[in-house]
Amino acid sequence: MASTRDIRRRIRSVRNTAQITKAMQMVAASKMRKAQQAALAGRPYAEALNRVLASLANRVGSLSHPFLEKREIKKPCALIISTDKGLCGALNTNLLREVAALPKNTVFVTAGKKGKQFVARAGRELLADFEVKDDTSSYKVKQISQFLIDQYLEGKIDSVSVWHTRFVNTLVQKPERNALLPIGQMEKLEAGAGEHAKTEIKADENLQYVYEPSGDEVLSALLPAYIHFQVYQLMLDAKASEHSARMVAMKSATDNAKSMIKDLTLEYNKVRQSGITTELLEIATAQMAMA
């Protein structure tokens, strides 16, 4: 049986750990609120952009654009949006488990150290690695989407899909695959679902847009903006998922530490009580022997 000194040392250690996890929980909660607001605020704009894009595509009809042309896919590319740090539960594990099943000819672009480490361990080809901090700005994310566009236009890759964690709510985050290029391939595969779910981009039939200078020119300018915003919105979703998962994980760690302290305190009291009882018995035995 452990001594009271050992138990006190363990209690202090667990209490210090609980203070650290509690502080990390509060920090993650603060970041989570901002990230959730940013992710949710961008979704109405994304829907409006989709409606305008669909309306343009229906009007223009036979516009020839590299982003709309399907190719023979010889070298697919996957953008992995992961986290830089751990301590966020199974967030990265669930995402990278799905990425591991991609074909061997897939090349990777990563945003986040965990994704980069995964690609290195798997011995897969890494085209580029980008660092995106918590203060996600459209300018920084645009560097990623512009790199993907350049690689696609130069013919170095034939398709682009984005693997990220979609924010559902504070307790639920789902790994997800979004097809990015070519744009005509509007399909979304929820990781683990086993089937494709169509991402329909529908035009609003009640609205008639007037385009200046022409539909073709507006659509040609809108398609790159659509790519940039899609990557930016997925990045916001991933950040909201990260902070939500970390907040929940740190809360769970704090609760477990408090439970462990309670159990150790009970054990400490039992050992201390046993020691006192033993001392009383020794005193009583000595008195009886002297009588």
Per domain, the residue ranges of the chain are 27-246
The CATH code belonging to domain 27-246 is: 3.40.1380.10
Which pair of tokens denotes residue 33? 């609120």
pLDDT higher than threshold 80 for residue 121: yes
As a whole number of angstroms, the distance between CA 200 and CA 222 comes to: 18
Q: How confident is the model at residue 285 (pLDDT cuts 50, 70, 90)?
A: confident
pLDDT higher than threshold 50 for residue 194: no
- CB neighbourhood size of 157 (10 A): 23
Residues forming a β-bridge with 167? 173
Position 164 scores a pLDDT of: 92
Distance of CA 164 to the CA centre of its chain: 6
pLDDT higher than threshold 50 for residue 196: no
pLDDT higher than threshold 60 for residue 204: no
CB 79 within 8 A of CB 61: no
Position 187 scores a pLDDT of: 36
Burial class (CB within 10 angstroms; exposed 0-12, middle 13-18, buried 19+) of 234: buried
> What is the pTM (predicted TM-score) of this model?
0.79
pLDDT higher than threshold 90 for residue 78: yes
pLDDT higher than threshold 50 for residue 186: no
* Choice among 126-135, 181-190, 274-283 with the minimum mean pLDDT: 181-190
- Measured over the CA atoms of residue 173, residue 83, residue 36 and residue 256, the dihedral's sign is positive
HSE, CB side, 13 Å, CA atoms: give it for residue 90: 8
Tens of pLDDT, residues 54-74: 777 666 655 677 887 778 888
Pairing of strands 173-181, 107-111: unpaired
CB 65 within 8 A of CB 220: yes
Pairing of strands 187-190, 126-130: unpaired
Pairing of strands 159-167, 173-181: antiparallel
Position 22 scores a pLDDT of: 92
Provide the edge-to-edge strand list for the sheet that holds 159-167.
126-130, 107-111, 76-81, 159-167, 173-181, 187-190, 196-198
Average pLDDT over residues 274-279: 78
Tens of pLDDT, residues 135-166: 777 888 889 999 999 999 998 998 999 999 98
Tens of pLDDT, residues 222-264: 888 888 988 999 999 899 999 999 999 999 999 999 999 999 9
- Residue-wise burial string across 85-123, b where 16 or more C-beta atoms lie within 10 A, e elsewhere: eeebbebbebbbebbeebeeebbbbbbbbbbbebbeeee
